[in-house]
């Protein structure tokens, strides 16, 4: 996101970026950031064209069968806008409302109040649902089927008719090629997860909603899944991911939302949430003059052998690096100084999030 793009804030401070390059010519010209309200924008055709997910003041209260009690509030006024093509990760503690929100996106749960729009339409519209690929947290797979038989049955339900070759390619794409003739009943958790992903990928959906996509998958499998999700994004799909594996979320997503007590308490680009625009980690080859580096503003990172540098601009960064090189230091590594998502989550929850649902 370039700094020159206008950024607006919704009711809860959720960042809403008017995607100038995508929308030039048909978004309203320069609305006042102060006057801007997500609620007003939800459902408007100009925003629908660029947003994959729009949620405005969404509340969900689960009521008991006989409605004797006040019910359990799972979502307590959630505002969110996710651009098409983004990779968005929703994180939060148990009971924060993540699954409930996913269910509203899929049209499985109807909000008690507020509005949700997906791919510019109503989540309950079968035409919208057909454009979404979903990997649920808990997979129910028919034990007696082979992967291809299962995918063929899912394809039929989605109204798709991929050929045998396409199904074989999909099974291979998720790393189940050698197991393609085995019955699913004998599959490990990670293998079942891969198959669930393959089912979500059927029909090249515009939006992929993934609930714990790498749960139970081994480290190499996770890397494969990340690669596949990268490919999906490259073809234009939007990713919406819910995961407790924060390191995975960091690696897959470029925007993060933190949910607590049914509300979004933080939302933004990963780099905004986890790092400063001006802090860098630097590593030099052995033998660099530590005193000289210190004089140039590099601060040693305790016990890691690296250095931290604050630089206001890319020009200032390069100037400091040039000076260091002139002093004989050889640069071997440079990256932004980012905090773990875990720290960001802890800070956000400390700052105002209830642990779970709202009573
Ligand atoms: N069908 C239901 N009936 C009553 N309460 C429910 C129902 N589904 C969820 N809840 C409640 O709504 C709140 C949010 O639950 P939800 O499953 O959406 O959270 P979550 O963030 O997905 O949690 P987890 O990370 O543990 O999966 C919780 O208090 C939960 O007990």
**pLDDT tens-digit readout, 222-252:** 898 999 999 999 999 999 999 888 888 988 9
Q: How far is the CA of 324 from the centre of ligand 1 (A)?
A: 54
The count of domains in the chain is: 1
Among protein residues, the one with the nearest Cα to ligand 1's atom 13 is: 74
C-alpha 290 to ligand 1 mean position (Å): 53
Nearest CA residue ID for atom 11, ligand 1: 74
Atom of ligand 1 nearest to the CA of 73: 12
Can you tell me the ipTM of this complex? 0.98
pLDDT at position 31 is 36
Q: What pLDDT score was predicted for residue 247?
A: 86
Cα of 99 from ligand 1 centre, angstroms: 7
Q: Is residue 62 domain-resident? A: no
User: 335 lies in which domain range?
Assistant: 276-342
CA of 260 to the centre of ligand 1 (A): 12
CATH code, domain carrying 300 = 3.30.70
Q: What is the mean pLDDT of residues 83-103?
A: 95
Ligand 1 centroid to residue 97 C-alpha, Å: 6
Which residue's C-alpha comes closest to atom 24 of ligand 1?
94
- Let me know: does 189 contact 216? Beta carbons within 8 Å: yes
For residue 72, give the ligand 1 atom closest to its CA: 5
> How far does the centroid of ligand 1 lie from the alpha carbon of residue 125, in Å?
24
| Residue 87, beta-bridge partner list | 239
The answer as to whether 144 is a domain residue is no
Look at residue 269 and give its three-state secondary structure: strand
Best residue for ligand 1 mutational test, from 58, 59, 60, 62 (most atoms within 8 Å of Cβ): 62
Please list every protein residue whose CB sits less than 6 Å from any atom of ligand 1.
62, 72, 74, 92, 94-100, 356-357
Domain annotation covers residue 333: yes
* Domain assignment present for 23: no
Which secondary-structure segment (H or E) carries 48? helix 45-48
Tell me what pLDDT residue 66 has.
Answer: 65
Helix pair 147-157, 189-201: axis angle to 10 deg: 40
Which pLDDT tens digit goes with each residue over 124-169?
999 999 999 999 988 889 999 999 999 999 999 988 989 999 999 9
**Bigger pLDDT: 321 or 274?**
321
Residue where the block lists tokens 């998958």: 217
The residue nearest atom 27 of ligand 1, judged by CA position, is 94
Q: Residue 257 corresponds to which tokens in the numbers above?
A: 């939302």
Residue 108 lies in a domain: no
pLDDT for res 8? 35
Task: Report the 10 Å Cβ neighbour count for 271.
Answer: 14
Substitution site in 357, 358, 359 for ligand 1 pocket (most atoms within 8 Å of beta carbon):
357
33-49: average pLDDT: 49
Q: Which residues does residue 89 pair with via DSSP β-bridges, in sequence order?
A: 241, 256
Tally of CB atoms within 10 A around 182:
13
CA distance 150 to 145: 6
Specify the ligand 1 atom closest to the Cα of 99: 22
Residue 282 bridge partners (DSSP): 307, 334
Residue 121 pLDDT: 95
Q: Return the DSSP state at 220.
A: H
Nearest atom in ligand 1 to 97's CA: 18
In a domain, residue 285? The reply is yes
154-174: string of b/e by CB count within 10 Å (b at 16+)? bbeebeeebeeeebbebbebb
Q: pLDDT value at position 69?
A: 64
User: In whole angstroms, what is the distance from residue 355 CA to residue 96 CA?
Assistant: 7
User: How far is the C-alpha of 91 from the C-alpha of 163, rounded, in Å?
Assistant: 37
The answer for 231, left when phi > 0, alpha when psi is -120 to 50, beta otherwise, is alpha
pLDDT tens per residue, range 258-295:
999 999 999 999 888 887 778 899 999 988 999 999 99
In a domain, 328, yes or no: yes
Domain membership of residue 135 (yes or no) is no
State the number of CA atoms in the 13 A half-sphere of 228 facing the CB.
25
pTM of this structure: 0.76
Q: How far apart are CA 330 and CA 315, in angstroms?
A: 19
Q: Ligand 1 atom 18: the closest Cα is on which residue?
A: 97
């Amino acid at each position: 996101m370039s700094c020159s793009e206008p950024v607006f804030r919704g009711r809860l401070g959720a960042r809403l970026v008017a995607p100038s390059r995508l929308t030039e010519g048909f978004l309203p010209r320069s609305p006042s950031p102060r006057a801007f309200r997500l609620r007003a924008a939800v459902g408007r055709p100009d925003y629908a064209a660029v947003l994959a997910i729009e949620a405005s003041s969404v509340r969900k209260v689960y009521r008991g069968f006989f409605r004797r009690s006040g019910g359990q509030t799972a979502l307590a006024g959630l505002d969110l806008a996710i651009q098409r093509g983004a990779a968005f990760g929703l994180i939060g503690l148990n009971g924060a409302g993540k699954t409930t929100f996913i269910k509203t996106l899929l049209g499985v749960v109807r909000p008690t109040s507020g509005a949700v729009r997906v791919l510019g339409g109503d989540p309950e519209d079968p035409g919208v649902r057909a454009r979404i690929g979903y990997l649920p947290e808990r997979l129910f797979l028919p034990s007696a089927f082979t992967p291809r038989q299962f995918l063929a049955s899912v394809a039929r339900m989605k109204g798709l008719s991929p050929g045998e070759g396409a199904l074989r390619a999909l099974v291979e794409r998720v790393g189940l090629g050698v197991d393609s003739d085995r019955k699913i009943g004998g599959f490990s958790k990670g293998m079942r997860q891969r198959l669930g992903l393959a089912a979500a990928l059927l029909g090249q959906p515009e939006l992929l909603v993934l609930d714990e996509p790498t749960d139970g998958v081994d480290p190499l499998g996770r890397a494969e899944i990340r690669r596949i999700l990268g490919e999906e994004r490259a073809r234009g799909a939007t990713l919406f991911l819910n995961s407790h594996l924060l390191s995975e979320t960091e690696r897959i997503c470029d925007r993060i939302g933190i949910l607590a007590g049914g509300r979004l308490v933080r939302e933004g680009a990963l780099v905004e949430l986890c790092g400063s625009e001006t802090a860098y980690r630097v590593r030099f080859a052995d033998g660099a003059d530590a005193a000289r580096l210190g004089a140039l503003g590099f601060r040693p990172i305790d016990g890691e052998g690296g250095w931290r540098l604050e630089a206001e601009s890319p020009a200032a960064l390069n100037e400091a690096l040039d000076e260091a090189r002139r002093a004989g230091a050889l640069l071997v590594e440079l990256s932004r100084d980012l905090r773990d998502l875990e720290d960001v989550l802890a800070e956000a929850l400390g700052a105002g999030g209830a642990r779970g649902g709202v009573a």
